[in-house]
Structure 1
Amino acid sequence: MPRAPVICITHGGGPMPIVGPMLGDKGHSELNTSLQTRIPSLLKLGTPDMPRAIVVITPHWRPDFPTITATAEPPLYHDFEPSHPPQSFEIEYKASGAPDVAEAIYEAFKEAGLEPVKDTERGWDHGIFVPFILINPKGDIPLVQLSILPDDDPIKHFKMGRALAKLRDDNVAILGSGFASFHNGSVQRSLYFADPQGEEVQLWRGRVGEWNKALADVVLSGDPRHREEGLQRWRELPHSFDMHPDGEAEHLMPLMVCAGAADHDRGDQFSDNFGGVEVASHYWGVG
């Protein structure tokens, strides 16, 4: 059995990958296509080599300690804003949890000195169920939700990933759900409705492109030490505060975890157009 992969996706804006097409909004069309085609292919869904379970790191859960959903049948937590379309609160997705995998994560984190917590109350948030409706609508692979931490410390999150790496040998995939390229709400909303050929979009397309390249040079390396050292200085990368404002880098942290879990695998990436800029998803260990 091959070692399971590590993937960090761009999950889109809230419920809109699912609700947007119902309302005639095409802004997520490229992202949705990748979630429906590229990611299942990278995970080898529908083949004998597909993972037996997937650990999903969500940016929408930031408790004091790394926390693991440990129930067999987690409910959904529709953590949307009241301003979102009412259909958002009717989204459904059914898949099972994996308490045995949750226990393996717990033990791996304890061994790494990470003070983990097992949770049996909080449901899967939209960082899980929205993309997985597109990635695996059948819901036939168990999922385990994993939190990030309340600060933007890259090394703590990288350490979480290093501890997760051993699960890959047991055919458990690691999937970060975030928005590593660009998560600046006010700018994203402006770009989403702007003229794709206008000056504002062109300006931000250049900035995001420079950030993407610099970030890829760090995280796609096959040398985990290079990755860790580069991520420790991620704020020195071009336009970092434009991409992820101070104290608001939660949508980058799943990538930090994935970069740790990638171990010695060299990575690759693909990009989708979102709001006129290219947003990247990253992956490692895909044979």
Structure 2
Amino acid sequence: MSPKRQPTWFLSHGGGPWPYMDGPFRHHFGPLEAALQAMPGQLPEPPKAVLMVSGHWETPGGFEVMSSPQPGMVYDYGGFPAHTYSVVYPAPGSPELAARVQQLLAEANLPCSPNPAQGFDHGAFVPMAVMYPQAQVPMVQLSLQLGEQADVHLALGRALAPLRDEGVLIIGSGLSYHNLRMFGPEGARPSQQFDAWLQATLALSGTARSDALLRWTEAPSARQAHPRAEHLIPLMVAVGAAEHDTATCPYHQTDFFGGLTVSSFRLG
């Protein structure tokens, strides 16, 4: 029996290694934690693997795909408790999926090379630790191409679309609002304005949605919400891989860290 088609997701993954902490910082993420815990039950069947595109891995000149069968860890955060620099998310990699990604990207004339040394960054292992705490689902990370080109990453998603019918769950992991200098009450208005634009844009269908995303810098408060776009660009991949599917918003919070509005989206 053929696998059932998987949806794609864009996740707002939160901040730092929050699932590995307790206390007030952890409590900020209660609604996000509940949404992530619910995700596996919203899939048509358990995925054979996850292809994760995280805003925390950018490579110049082309894409790179994690090719190790047992990836290590990348602790790409600072100022957190000592124990969070030794946590391990022991999901296996998948050299087979990495090779399939390279094949699909080659067919689309998108440069991609294997990276056997890359480990899981926190944009990948943080949401997965909540979704699949037993680390039973193989995960492969695919980099963003440095440069923030929305069109390139929409094309990347289109190239990856066949994986959805092969049992692979494609996840873009970032944050719908990511301005660390306005990460509190002062970010309330720009985050709300940009989120409202995202909600309206994701409600569009087909090429109208993609065309609007290409012009994301024209959205209200766009550059206040994303001074750099690396936490938004994973959305382009998720949309490109499900370009003609309906989008829904399974996670929406308006009091994130003192009043920020943040969202996640599912397509298909």
In the superposition, the TM-score normalised over structure 2's length comes to 0.92
Q: Distance in 1 between matches of 2:26 and 2:49?
A: 32
Question: Aligned partners of 2:202 and 2:152: how far apart in 1?
Answer: 16
Q: 2:205 corresponds to which residue?
A: 222
Report the equivalent of 2:233.
253
Q: Secondary structure at the match of 1:67?
A: strand
Aligned match of 1:77: 74
Candidates 63, 66, 76, aligned match of 2:63:
66
Q: Any gaps of 5 or more consecutive residues in structure 2?
A: none
Distance in 1 (CA, whole Å) between partners of 2:26 and 2:75 is: 21
The structure whose residues are more often strand, as a share, is 2
**Which stretch of the first structure deviates more once superposed, 8-17 or 229-238?**
8-17
Counterpart residue number, 1:106: 102
Match among 90, 93, 100 for residue 89 of structure 2: 93
The aligned counterpart of 2:6 is 4
Q: Within 1, Cα distance between the matches of 2:41 and 2:149?
A: 32
SS in 2 for 1:241: helix
| Residue 221 (structure 2) aligned to one of 214, 239, 242 | 239
Shift of 1:69: 0.3
Identity %: 32
SS, match of residue 283 in structure 1: strand
| Contact 1:80–1:88 (8 Å) recurs in 2 | no
Residue in structure 2 matched with residue 31 of structure 1 by the alignment: 32
Distance 2:123 2:172 in 1: 9
Partner of 1:166: 162
Following TM superposition, by how much is the alpha carbon of 1:160 offset from its aligned partner in structure 2, in angstroms?
Answer: 0.6
Partner Cα distance (1:239, 1:283) in 2: 23
Aligned in 2, Cα 1:239/1:92: closer, same or farther, shift over 3 Å? same
Normalised to the residue count of structure 1, the TM-score between the two structures is 0.87
Contact 2:8 2:242 in 1 (8 A): yes
Asked whether the equivalents of residues 18 and 25 of structure 2 are also in contact (C-alpha less than 8 Å), the reply is no
Structure 1 position 186 matched with structure 2 position 173: no
Deviations 1:33-88, CA, capped at 9 Å, x for gaps: 22222x222335xxxx111111000111111111100111111122222x222122
Cα 1:204/1:186, change in 2 over 3 Å: closer
Deviation at 1:22, TM superposition (A): 5.2
Sort the Cα spacing of 1:163 and 1:281 in 2 relative to 1 into closer, same or farther, 3 A.
same
Q: 1:2 to 1:123 in 2, by over 3 A?
A: same
Gapped regions of structure 1 (runs ≥ 5): 192-200
Tell me what 1:157 maps to. Answer: 153
Aligned to 1:208: 191
Aligned length: 262
RMSD: 1.6
| Rounded Cα–Cα distance in structure 2 between residues aligned with 1:129 and 1:204 | 26
Contact 1:30/1:274 (<8 A) preserved: no
The equivalent of 1:139 in structure 2 is: 135
* Amino acid across the alignment from 2:181: S
Shift of 1:107: 0.6
Q: How far apart, CA to CA, are the structure 2 residues paired with 1:268 and 1:24?
A: 28
Instruction: Report SS of the residue matched to 2:263.
Output: strand
Structure 1 range deviating more: 26-35 or 136-145: 26-35
CA distance in 1, matches of 2:161, 2:201: 18
